[in-house]
Amino acid sequence: MKVLLLSDVKGQGKKGDVINVSDGYANNFLLKKGLGVVATADKINSVEIHNKAVEKQKAAERQKAQEDAARLKGQTVRIVAATGSQGKMYGSITNKEIAEELCRSGYSVDKKQVVLKEPIRTTGRYTATVKLYAEISAQINIVVD
């Protein structure tokens, strides 16, 4: 029996694959647990259309991330922090504050996308990486006053 997998099945295939299995395995395990459906031409076509739409959406997201990375590259973020007499700050500057400042500048960046080697605890110039998509990132400059 040909079965279209609705989720990954160990030893059989990945989601969206059409596999040929015995009738008993298909009826008693795959269909019963909702891991697959009987492969008809209609269902196979709908999965292919869905996969094409997902690929198109991912390509659009990747393109947008590349454009955003080009705009962000080399941008300078200025953050004013309360400091003591020797230039040491009260607290530290984290990726959250940097992301908020980038959002105020017109970029849509989440705090999880900003990567700092360590929290900033003194005034000065620093660099950070903003990861926008898989393998797409941009370096930004941070000035803490």
Q: What is the CATH number of the domain that holds 135?
A: 3.10.430.100
Measured distance CA(34)–CA(31) in Å, rounded: 5
> Largest Cα–Cα distance of the chain, in whole Å?
78
**CA 97, chain centre distance (Å):** 20
Q: Residue 60 has what pLDDT?
A: 97
CATH classification of the domain holding 20 = 3.40.5.10
Mean pLDDT (the chain) is: 92
pLDDT in tens, 26-83: 999 999 999 999 999 999 999 899 999 999 999 999 999 999 999 999 899 999 988 8
User: How far separated are the first and last CA of the chain, in Å rounded?
Assistant: 69
Q: Residue 77 has what pLDDT?
A: 93
Is the domain of 38 the same as that of 71?
Answer: no
Q: Residue 145 has what pLDDT?
A: 86
pLDDT in tens, 97-109: 999 999 999 888 9
Counted residue by residue, the chain has a size of: 145
**What one-letter code names the amino acid at 57?**
Q
**CA 112, chain centre distance (Å):** 10
